[in-house]
């Protein structure tokens, strides 16, 4: 056996997507309890564009090296197993956890440092070694391209819906869920909420995307560009009661409106900040979503989900026959174009890179 295996990987100096470089390196063989995975599909997230552009700077506990291998969500195939590995064999299809140490309960500050594609080496490569318990099986019903969307976009949406309920008791019936935008987290949120029996209101800047959301089961759609007072519309649609659960993705310009249209005792999931981290009216004031996420406070500051919740979610997807929506699949060599496409916000659902 040759001592190393050739391994192409994308690297970033945190200076923008256009400066990503594809380099030829090598990987070693797996050590005890390790598994060498041949990456087959990578899902791209907003966070990846942010990290590569040097803007992922709101977690004091996460220190980034000056050069990183970006991206955290991948599916792949077990290529080689080290001594002592009991869970996996060559050929198994697997998913990687984006926070390698986050296995159950709530994430701790220390676990943030186990994030991959940021402090730790990411998955935009052909091969990567993982500890065996950082991997999960790919559900039979999903392709690798579909499965790789589950560990950030999927689990974030899952936790927004179910993270406050006891493990093993997904609910949703009778609830009105307000989802902002039509990106990766939002569309998985729509699918989960509809399969749970909830009523979904979704917002977007695009009527065409809203029509697609409607086709996926959204009950009500609001264009937040042509209806800037979308909070008032949510109140109207809910007879003044407000939404039970909000996927707050917008950040600075949307939080006040979300508070306006959430019901008394509702669940405000502070998930994102796609339209700004700072308050446009007060540059000194970091947006509430960012503050909530930073300390994972019970606002709820949503910060990914643990292994047992991923297992729970994958079962739910299997049982309901849910297929994650993939907007476009790019080739590995086109990762830059894929990230630029994601960063432009033109997509609906998830953008995936396929590794040969």
Ligand X SMILES: NC(=O)c1ccc[n+]([C@@H]2O[C@H](COP(=O)([O-])OP(=O)(O)OC[C@H]3O[C@@H](n4cnc5c(N)ncnc54)[C@H](OP(=O)(O)O)[C@@H]3O)[C@@H](O)[C@H]2O)c1
Cβ 210 to ligand X shortest distance, Å:
8
Binding ligand X by CB under 6 A: which of 79, 127, 273, 341? 273
Piece of 22-30, 88-96, 132-140, 269-277 that binds ligand X (CB under 6 A): 269-277
Hey, how many other C-beta atoms are within 10 angstroms of the C-beta on 70? 29
95, two tokens = 């998913």
| Residue 221 DSSP symbol | E
Applying the rule CB under 6 A, the residues between 60 and 99 that interact with ligand X are none
Applying the rule CB under 6 A, the residues between 116 and 145 that interact with ligand X are none
Q: Rounded to whole angstroms, what are the CA distances from 274 to 79, 119, 135, 262?
A: 37, 22, 29, 20
Binding ligand X by CB under 6 A: which of 9, 124, 254, 258? 254
Cβ 182 to ligand X shortest distance, Å:
4
Piece of 65-73, 260-268, 301-309, 332-340 that binds ligand X (CB under 6 A): 301-309
Hey, how many other C-beta atoms are within 10 angstroms of the C-beta on 82? 16
Binding ligand X by CB under 6 A: which of 153, 201, 246, 300? 153
Piece of 130-138, 139-147, 190-198, 247-255 that binds ligand X (CB under 6 A): 247-255
CB 205 within 8 A of CB 183: no
Applying the rule CB under 6 A, the residues between 322 and 351 that interact with ligand X are 342, 345
CB 99 within 8 A of CB 114: yes
255 binds ligand X (CB under 6 A): no
Q: Rounded to whole angstroms, what are the CA distances from 343 to 44, 217, 226, 302?
A: 10, 26, 22, 21
CB 270 within 8 A of CB 298: no
271 binds ligand X (CB under 6 A): yes
Binding ligand X by CB under 6 A: which of 72, 162, 182, 258? 182
Query: Which residues are paired to 116 by β-bridges?
Result: 120
Q: Rounded to whole angstroms, what are the CA distances from 262 to 51, 238, 242, 243?
A: 31, 10, 5, 5
Query: Alpha carbon 291 to chain centroid distance?
Result: 19
Cβ 350 to ligand X shortest distance, Å:
7
CB 107 within 8 A of CB 304: yes
Cβ 78 to ligand X shortest distance, Å:
27
CB 118 within 8 A of CB 53: no
Integer Cα distance of 48 and 356 in angstroms: 21
27, two tokens = 């990987």
Binding ligand X by CB under 6 A: which of 135, 185, 190, 245? 185
Total residues belonging to the chain: 356
Distance between first and last Cα of the chain? 22
User: Helices H, strands E: what count in the chain?
Assistant: 11, 16
Applying the rule CB under 6 A, the residues between 187 and 206 that interact with ligand X are 203-206
Q: Which is nearer to ligand X, 38 or 257 (CB)?
A: 257
Piece of 62-70, 109-117, 150-158, 259-267 that binds ligand X (CB under 6 A): 150-158
304 binds ligand X (CB under 6 A): yes
287 binds ligand X (CB under 6 A): no
Integer Cα distance of 325 and 234 in angstroms: 25
272 binds ligand X (CB under 6 A): yes
Cβ 277 to ligand X shortest distance, Å:
9
Q: Which is nearer to ligand X, 104 or 319 (CB)?
A: 104
Cβ 221 to ligand X shortest distance, Å:
10
* Interacting residues with ligand X (CB under 6 A): 45-47, 152-153, 156, 180-186, 203-206, 209, 224, 249-250, 253-254, 271-275, 293, 302-304, 342, 345
């Amino acid at each position: 056996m040759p001592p190393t295996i050739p391994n192409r990987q994308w690297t970033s100096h945190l200076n923008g997507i256009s400066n990503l470089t594809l380099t030829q390196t090598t990987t070693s063989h797996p050590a005890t309890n390790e598994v060498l995975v041949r990456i087959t599909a990578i899902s791209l997230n907003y966070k990846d564009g942010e990290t590569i552009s040097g803007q992922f700077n709101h977690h004091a506990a996460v220190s980034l090296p000056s050069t990183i291998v970006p991206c955290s969500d991948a599916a792949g195939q077990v290529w080689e197993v080290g001594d002592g590995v009991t869970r996996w064999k060559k050929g198994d299809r697997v998913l990687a956890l984006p926070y390698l140490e986050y296995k159950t309960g709530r994430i701790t500050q220390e676990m943030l440092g186990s994030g991959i594609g940021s402090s730790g080496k990411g998955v935009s490569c052909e091969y990567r070694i993982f500890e065996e318990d950082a991997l999960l099986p790919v559900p039979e019903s999903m392709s690798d391209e579909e499965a790789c969307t589950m560990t950030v976009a999927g689990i974030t949406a899952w936790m927004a819906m179910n993270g406050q309920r006891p493990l093993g008791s997904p609910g949703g019936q009778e609830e009105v869920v307000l989802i902002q935008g039509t990106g990766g987290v939002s569309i998985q949120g729509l699918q989960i909420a509809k399969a749970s029996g909830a009523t979904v209101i979704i917002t977007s800047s695009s009527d065409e995307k809203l029509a697609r959301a409607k086709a996926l089961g959204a009950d009500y759609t609001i264009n937040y560009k042509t209806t800037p007072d979308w909070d008032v519309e949510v109140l109207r649609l809910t007879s003044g009661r407000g939404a039970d659960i909000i996927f707050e993705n917008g950040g600075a310009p949307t939080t006040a409106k979300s508070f306006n249209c959430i019901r008394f005792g509702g669940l405000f999931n502070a998930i994102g900040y796609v339209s700004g981290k700072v308050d446009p009216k007060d540059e000194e004031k970091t947006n509430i979503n960012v503050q909530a996420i930073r300390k994972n406070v019970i606002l709820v500051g949503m910060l990914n989900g643990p292994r047992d919740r991923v297992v729970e979610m994958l079962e739910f997807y299997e049982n309901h026959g849910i297929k994650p929506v993939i907007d476009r699949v790019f080739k590995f060599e086109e990762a830059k174009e894929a990230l630029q496409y994601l960063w432009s916000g033109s997509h609906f659902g998830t953008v995936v890179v396929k590794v040969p």
